Amino acid sequence: MPRALRRLVHMGLFCPLSKGLQTPAIKVKYLLLAWLTILITSWVIYMQYAAYSELCRGHVCHMVICDHYRRGIISGSSCDALCDQRTLTFQRCLSTSATHQVYSGLWKERPVVIKCGIEELVKGDGVPDAVLQQEMSLFDKPTRGTSMDEFKEMLHSFLKANLGEQPSLSTLVERIITMADVNQDRKVSLAEAKSVWALLQINEFLLNMALQEKEHTPKLLGFCGDLYVTEHVGHSSLYRLKVPSHLQTLVPEALSSSLNHWLAPSWPRRARITIGLLEFVEEVFHGAYGSFLICDASPRHVGYNAKFDCKMANLRNVASEAVVRVFLKGRRCETNADCTYGRDCTATCDRLVKQCNTEVVQPNLAKVCTLLQDYLLFGAPSDLHGDLEKQLRTCVTLSGLASQMEVHHSLVLNNLKTLLWKKISNTQYS
């Protein structure tokens, strides 16, 4: 930059400020503002770094998995790409829990999502040997000498305990065996068996296997030990603005809501995403492998792709009805809050015997409609707004009692889908 131009910029930017600071009151005000800005900025940077270092431990996951793979303890269709060829790579951290690592990644230049679990780490620099020992316990079953028939029986018993008695469990067992057979030699090695057994202990992976044929479940692309790879979901939340927990006190809820309204897709596209979410509610209600309950209907768990097709970005908060019933059965309680599985799968408390009932009060559809009231009503066409608001109001009052579930539940869901589909059918959004 020429000297004359630099001098002109300096005079324009700094001379007014230096003249203003000559007045003592203004000088103090500017100093306070400057220090406050520095303080807030430093705090935000520190919190971001602390949150990242606490939540993002993909390097630990990579080290542990590849160590086990090279020692022949585990196997999987993604191991070679992750540990030897390095064509499967971690990119941006998406983790919300230190023990459940989630990263966007690339596999042969294809965008994917990489997920793996790690035990609570011992504090300190580096990765202690204890971490490797803790992870070893994940791969202790089946043991050497287990036959294929015994392994299939192990799988069937595990699925029965977690999904309930279903006539189609044998089909799911065969699907799992086929996935475990990485080299397709019609045999399952001990390393392959250990890997798939460890994966099934992860609720989200089990749900992913049970719902793999469903349109709104991300496709499973590969695995290595208890690390698994799924298709990339372009938008991992209904709302684009996700305020970190340590900044929520600084950002008013009304402001974040207004910004999300402004950043949201157009209403017809939101209607298309909503129809997909309602279809997912249908898919998990009396499916081939039983019924599943959404125990945290958060916008952060519902995603969509570039075509605005709904994809469940996070299945960790979905649970089988069988597991929830086992959790509630015989559970001691004083209030209904004591009868809650996850965040909001709540049953009633029988105060006479002080035990939980096993039937969850609020069905999936009512929870989803509560979520959709804000998402779908803002910007809705004026000729549809009244009917849509009425349908959603009816929907959120649904009870989970068996007497209502079969007929009333289906009727409300179909009415809502029809109302939305009529508005966007025969358009570019259908």
Residue 287 pLDDT level (bands cut at 50, 70, 90): confident
Rounded to whole angstroms, the Cα distance separating 195 from 142 reads 10
State residue 90's pLDDT score.
95
User: How confident is the model over 298-315, as a mean pLDDT?
Assistant: 92
Rounded to whole angstroms, the Cα distance separating 140 from 55 reads 27
Residues 6+ apart with CB under 8 A from 220: 179, 208, 209, 212, 228, 229, 230
Residue 399 pLDDT level (bands cut at 50, 70, 90): confident
- Residue 48 CA to chain centroid, in angstroms? 21
User: How confident is the model over 381-390, as a mean pLDDT?
Assistant: 94
Per-residue pLDDT of 190-241, as tens digits, reads 999 999 999 999 999 999 999 988 899 999 999 999 999 999 999 989 987 6
User: How confident is the model over 366-393, as a mean pLDDT?
Assistant: 94
Residue 136 pLDDT level (bands cut at 50, 70, 90): low
Residue 416 pLDDT level (bands cut at 50, 70, 90): very high
State residue 50's pLDDT score.
44
Residue 121 pLDDT level (bands cut at 50, 70, 90): very low
Rounded to whole angstroms, the Cα distance separating 169 from 165 reads 8
User: How confident is the model over 30-51, as a mean pLDDT?
Assistant: 59
Per-residue pLDDT of 98-120, as tens digits, reads 888 999 999 988 999 999 987 65
State residue 186's pLDDT score.
83
State residue 401's pLDDT score.
61
pLDDT at 405 over 80: no
Residues 6+ apart with CB under 8 A from 397: 366
Q: In what order do the strands lie in the sheet with 340-341?
A: 340-341, 345-350, 355-360
* Among the ranges given (34-38, 325-329, 356-360, 393-397), the one the predictor scored with the smallest mean pLDDT: 34-38
383-391 contacts at long range (C-beta below 8 A, 24 or more positions apart): 384/419, 384/423, 387/419, 388/419, 388/420, 391/415, 391/416, 391/419
User: How confident is the model over 15-44, as a mean pLDDT?
Assistant: 59
Q: Which tops the pLDDT comparison, 143 or 324?
A: 324
State residue 118's pLDDT score.
77
Please give the mean pLDDT across all residues of the chain: 84
The predicted model scores a pTM of 0.81
pLDDT over 90, % of the chain: 59
Residues 6+ apart with CB under 8 A from 58: 90, 93, 101, 103, 114
Per-residue pLDDT of 255-281, as tens digits, reads 777 787 888 899 999 999 999 999 999
Residue 250 pLDDT level (bands cut at 50, 70, 90): low
3-state secondary structure the chain: CCHHHHHHHHHHHHHHHHHHCCCHHHHHHHHHHHHHHHHHHHHHHHHHHHHHHHHCCHHHHHHHHHHHHHCCCCCCCCHHHHHHCCCEEEEEECCCECCEEEEEEEECCEEEEEEEECCCCCCCCCCCHHHHHHHHHHHCCCCCCCCHHHHHHHHHHHHHHHHCCCCCHHHHHHHHHHHHCCCCCCCCCHHHHHHHHHHHCCHHHHHHHHCCCCCCCCCEEEEECCEEEEECCCECCCCCCCCCHHHCCCCCHHHHHHHHHHHCCCHHHHHHHHHHHHHHHHHCCCECCECEEECCCCHHHEEECCCCCEEECCCCCEEEHHHHHHHHCCCECCCHHHHEECCCEEEEEECCCCEEEEEECCCHHHHHHHHHHHHHHCCCCHHHHHHHHHHHHHHHCCCCCHHHHHHHHHHHHHHHHHHHHHHHCCCCCC
Per-residue pLDDT of 43-55, as tens digits, reads 555 445 444 457 8
102 residue type, one letter: V
Give how far Cα 106 sits from Cα of 68, 223, 283, 336, 380, Å: 22, 14, 30, 45, 37
* Among the ranges given (70-74, 204-208, 244-248, 411-415), the one the predictor scored with the smallest mean pLDDT: 244-248
pLDDT at 397 over 60: yes
304 within 8 A of 233, measured Cβ to Cβ: yes
Rounded to whole angstroms, the Cα distance separating 378 from 236 reads 21
Rounded to whole angstroms, the Cα distance separating 412 from 368 reads 12
Residue 154 pLDDT level (bands cut at 50, 70, 90): very high
State residue 132's pLDDT score.
47
162 within 8 A of 320, measured Cβ to Cβ: yes
pLDDT at 6 over 60: no
Joined together, the tokens standing for residue 74 give 């585990």
State residue 350's pLDDT score.
95
Per-residue pLDDT of 69-83, as tens digits, reads 999 999 999 999 999
Residues 6+ apart with CB under 8 A from 321: 164, 290, 291, 292, 293
Rounded to whole angstroms, the Cα distance separating 250 from 227 reads 36
